[in-house]
Amino acid sequence: KVFIADSGSVSVEIAIKMAIQYQHARGETTRTRLLALERGYHGDTLGAMSVCDPKRGMHHLFSGILPEQFFVPAPQTRFEEEWNPDDIAPLRESLEKNHKSIAALILEPVVQGAGGMRFYHPEYLRQARALCDEFGVLLIADEIATGFGRSGKLFACEYAGISPDIMCVGKAITGGYMTLAATLATTEVAETISRGEAGCFMHGPTFMANPLACRVACASLDLLMENNWKEQVSGIEQGLKTGLSRASELNGVADVRVLGAIGVIELKDPVDVKRLQPACVDRGIWVRPFAHNFYVMPPYIMRDGDLAFLTSNMVGALAQTLGE
């Protein structure tokens, strides 16, 4: 069942409300809180902000009005590493201890975006799914950044072969032309909510499902399928790997990683944006670095030549800024 929303953050608010109404309808009235991962990012409205990383974000500015949620450390096993079974232990412990208060676990599947551009092992996601089932907790997958092919799969959950109970999509849904997002729920979640006290899901702002935005989304999704996104994304992945690899020779660089059409250069120190950004503009590219990461998520239609221009100038601008 699909519930249309007007931005990614709102789709997360909706997901949180769905999870709480679902638990309430099942008589689980103490399950009103969320469990989330450190390093996560889910948006800027109050409910969404409450499940973002509590240490590195702006939580302290809003303490007292943000709902208090449960957090576990971010997954540590990297995407390409061998799975470390200890990685899931904190999640199990938190669920064992707190499940009677938890409506849902919310996470970004496989790629933690704005909270650090981290790619973690899909086994974490597979085991998280199983733990949610064991403890009667819903799984909310925030695919706002990863959805529609970005990670190399149409949805990042496919890396783990799981499906969530609730899923948020946004960003690429309209290819960036208009604001639109959606919250998807299983029939079980939707029908349980509708059997509850309220009789329906309690959310209905005036301009949800703006018809023009929906038409743009349909056109954009048609293009995605017609253009053979899989080939486009794997071409970009190859181009990013080749183009960014030289950055790993720089002393100031901690890590270079690529997954699907996401390329990240992680620095040892926070990026000096005031110097790096003008250096990029001088070279004819526009990139927005933040914290330790100098990263790009190119549009799928980008041609090989443009991608090579982008990556070589990223490395060049970085070398210049680092004085290497």
Ligand X SMILES: *Cc1c(COP(=O)(O)O)cnc(C)c1O
Residues in contact with ligand X by CB under 6 A are: 7-9, 12, 41-43, 108, 113-114, 142, 144-145, 170-171, 181
Asked whether the beta carbons of 197 and 25 are under 8 A apart, the reply is yes
Query: Least distance in Å: CB of 122 to ligand X?
Result: 17
Query: Least distance in Å: CB of 181 to ligand X?
Result: 6
Query: Rounded distance, CA 170 to CA 180, Å?
Result: 6
Return the closest-CA partner of residue 111 out of 275, 231, 250, 258: 258
Helix (H, G, I), strand (E, B) or coil at 102: strand
Query: Least distance in Å: CB of 112 to ligand X?
Result: 8
For ligand X, the nearest residue by Cβ is 8
Which lies closer to ligand X via its Cβ, residue 247 or residue 264?
264
Residue 264 backbone phi and psi in degrees, to 5: -130, 130
Strands 253-259 and 181-185: unpaired
Strands 166-169 and 181-185: antiparallel
Helix (H, G, I), strand (E, B) or coil at 265: strand
Query: Least distance in Å: CB of 61 to ligand X?
Result: 18
Query: Least distance in Å: CB of 67 to ligand X?
Result: 17
Query: Rounded distance, CA 141 to CA 164, Å?
Result: 6
Q: How many CB atoms lie within 10 A of CB 303?
A: 10
Residues 6+ apart with CB under 8 A from 274: none
Query: Least distance in Å: CB of 6 to ligand X?
Result: 9
